[in-house]
Amino acid sequence: MKTLNCRSLYLSTAIAIAIAQAPLTLAATFDLETAGVQEIHAAVDAGALSYEKLVKLYLARIAAYDDKGPSLNTIINLNPKALETARALDAEFKKTGRRSPLHGIPILAKDNFDTADMPTTGGTFLLDKSIPFQDAPTIKQLRDAGAIIIAKTNMDEFAHGGVGFSSRGGQTLNAHDPRRIPSGSSGGTGSGLAAWFSPLGLGSDTGGSIRGPAWANGVVGIKPTNGLITRTGIMPCVLTFDTGGPMARTVYDAALALGYMTGVDPKDPLTSTSAGLFYKDYTQFLKKDALKGARIGVIRDFKGTDPEVDRVFNESLKDLVAQGAVLVDDLHFPAIALQSRDGVMNPIRAEVKDNYVDYLSTLRPGFPRTVTELGEKGLKLTKPKGDFLPHPSVFTRFTELGQRQPITSLSYTSAKDHGMKAVQGAVLGLLEEKQLDALVYPTRPTQPEMINPETPRIVERPRLPSLSSIANVTQFPDVIVPAGITNEKMPVTISFFGPAYSEPRLLGYAYAYEQATQRRVSPSTTPALAGERFEY
């Protein structure tokens, strides 16, 4: 009996030790609503998800909420080969592993990025069937990394308007409140990301066209330093101020995408300024303690425009202090910077005519070749082949461009050669005087306005207060992060703004703030669907 007891004790002890030493396996939960690139790959690695299934989940959301439900109208064209591409990437992953961290990740692309397998319309019915000869370099770089362009998104016609309306796609709605604008011109990407039609998106920015939709829809956006990303293959608006950039639901995902979009392009001379200054991996700068000791200037221009935006912004400042930031409050941009839209941007718009002639020359036969032809055709047709009226303000502008002063005019050369440098110097002077690492301000001082049903007939829209053009005139970077919501359930975002090529620092601050606060809110109009959440 004594021997049996000792043996039993030995076996019990051995079993207990074996259990203690065995690896502990815990169930994980995949949730499409909160899943970023890292969570997607983790589920794929565990065999619980494939890239094909992931694309199907996003396509199901688009079917449920873009055409039906709130009918957000964010998509102009779905990629008919998205599932086929995903299956091929699944097979490649099983055979040789991932090409990059973007392998199998769907991306919503604004419809002014050239795609050789889908039309690139710029939001106009005049280019409805225009399929470029080749991908934009940024699209090619993302695809080479294994990303899937799942769809092209609606945008303001030729990137003019700022409300999310085009004759090609009609009016895109704000997912948080379909009565309101999604802002523009990258409004389709912004609203689509808010409704989680994809984890990543692409926008372009001339005077706030990434940052406006990030603000209105409560997502992350990066307006990079001009020259960090090539403009080749992106339909121009005002080329001097234009830049593409990533948009996303998280700072990590936006930073990840940015690295795959950078590089010197011989066809875009401005990118030569980024040589030795760009990175292929911006995620290395994402630290949760990045704000500790950072001197952040608080811009108070347009304070009092909307008390609810002020309330949320002031709460975000407390969060920055809690993370160790040193705030220098009650600052204002120099007057020359605040006046830069009229004093600098307007004269430089003279180049639009030449910008568009250059782009139109790259199109296949049968499409307009001059801005005058664009304008005349747009105004002549009172209704396109689809259901939406042309935007008269856009086409009137194009007919007027034919009579505009040339880029050799004194007003243009003065603004470009001297005006931009003056604004840059004034902003850098503020940063130096106050010994600041970055500036922070509410991306827009108001909540998104209600959609005006007369939008297609409005020639001149009232100008709303905004600081976004300063980043374009200076060509400096701006990183946008969700900061909370108003009492009307509309998102508010904050902008981290700094000098040229300060993306690593700004992204670090944005990431630290995001991780400490987690203020992104999903729209109530696009709830989760069956199968989007599961344990594995």
Cα-based angle 73, 74, 79 (whole degrees, multiple of 5) = 115
Give the model's pLDDT for residue 20: 54
Contact of 186 with 213, CB cutoff 8 Å:
yes
The CA-atom distances, in angstroms, between 88 and each of 93, 97, 104, 246, 277 are 9, 12, 9, 25, 35
Give the model's pLDDT for residue 523: 98
Residue 192 lies in a domain: yes
Q: Which residues are catalytic?
A: 110, 185, 209
How far apart (Å, rounded) are the C-alpha atoms in residues 339 and 251? 31
Residue 531 lies in a domain: no
Residue 163 lies in a domain: yes
Any idea what the CATH number is for the domain that residue 194 is in?
3.90.1300.10
Contacts 24+ apart (CB under 8 A), 327-330: 327/296, 327/297, 327/298, 328/295, 328/296, 328/297, 328/298, 328/434, 328/436, 329/298, 329/300, 330/298, 330/300
Residue 23 lies in a domain: no
Residue 13 lies in a domain: no
Give the model's pLDDT for residue 4: 45
State the residue range of the domain holding 456: 51-526
Give the model's pLDDT for residue 3: 44
Residue 9 lies in a domain: no
Residue 186 lies in a domain: yes
- Give the bridge partners for 524, in sequence order: none
* Number of domains comprising the chain: 1
DSSP letter at 172?
P
Q: Rounded to two decimals, what is the model's pTM?
A: 0.94
Smallest CA-to-CA distance from 210 within 110, 77, 349, 76 is with: 110
Residue 533 lies in a domain: no
DSSP letter at 457?
G
Count of beta carbons in the 10 Å neighbourhood of residue 482: 29
Smallest CA-to-CA distance from 103 within 57, 34, 55, 63 is with: 55
Give the model's pLDDT for residue 376: 83
The CA-atom distances, in angstroms, between 291 and each of 210, 324, 428 are 24, 6, 21
Q: Which pLDDT tens digits describe the chain residue by residue (536 residues)? A: 444 454 554 445 555 555 455 555 579 999 999 999 999 999 999 999 999 999 999 999 999 999 999 999 999 999 999 999 999 999 999 999 999 999 999 999 999 999 999 999 999 989 999 999 999 999 999 999 999 999 999 999 999 889 999 989 999 999 999 999 999 999 999 999 999 999 999 999 999 999 999 999 999 999 999 999 999 999 999 999 999 999 999 999 999 999 999 999 999 999 999 999 999 999 999 999 999 999 999 999 999 999 999 999 999 999 999 999 999 999 999 999 999 999 999 999 889 888 988 999 999 999 998 888 888 888 777 666 556 666 667 777 777 766 667 899 999 999 999 999 999 999 999 999 999 999 999 999 999 999 998 887 776 777 889 999 999 999 999 999 999 999 999 999 999 999 999 999 999 999 999 999 999 999 999 999 999 999 99
